[in-house]
Amino acid sequence: MEFIEYHLFSDTLYLGERGKGDIFKPCLRTIPFSQISGALNSKFGTDGFKAVGYLSGNSEYNTIEYMTYAPKDRISGVSKLPLQIEFLTNVFAKIFVLKNKDADTLPDEFQIIMGGLKSKGFGVCVLKKEGIVNAREVAKGILNVRIPVEEKDYFNVKNVINPVYGYLFKKIPNTYTGNYVLSLFEGSEVAAPLFLLRR
């Protein structure tokens, strides 16, 4: 079992939860399976990509900033209650894509669009190939990514010792809708490949 490691760079990125009614929209500190796999599948017109990632790099990367945004009602044209949105600038992340027939066609460098606020210019990401990592050997540690429980075998996640559960959105192919599926979140104690664990 092998994964292709990519380094992801973005000027501005907003990876938000789908919480309704809140006026503060926090940004995630990891790259969930649903976000990166969905972006890859959308870019290349397939549903075969399985990937996860997390923020990395030193203090010059992944700076937290805030913006106030007042979306307008589509019918009346009147602005709704302003939202405060947390986002990341100068983003650097490590992405791990399961090596399969779809992943084998990926170029060494390409661009995707991921996350929210795309209409404001957010989410343009450049991915650059770093190499191949082996996922056969596992160790006990703290998970650093978000993976649907139904997908954990693809990432060789074994022996879930102390899970932190949440839900990730799973799109229904060829539709604009989907469902939320039970997922392992960062902070779960598991046995998994080293590159998926906190250092």
pLDDT digits (tens, 9 = 90+) for 31-63: 999 999 999 998 998 888 999 999 998 888 998
Is residue 122 classed as helix, strand or coil in its secondary structure?
coil
Pairing relationship of beta strands 83-98 and 24-25 according to DSSP bridges: parallel
Residue 55 CA to residue 43 CA, distance in Å, equals 21
pLDDT at 120: 80
More confident residue, 187 or 178: 187
pLDDT of residue 80: 63
Neighbouring-strand partners of residue 158: 191
Q: Is the pTM of this model over 0.85?
A: yes
Q: What is d(CA 92, CA 85) in angstroms, rounded to the nearest whole number?
A: 20
Contacts of 128 (CB under 8 A, 6+ apart): 6, 7, 9, 108, 109
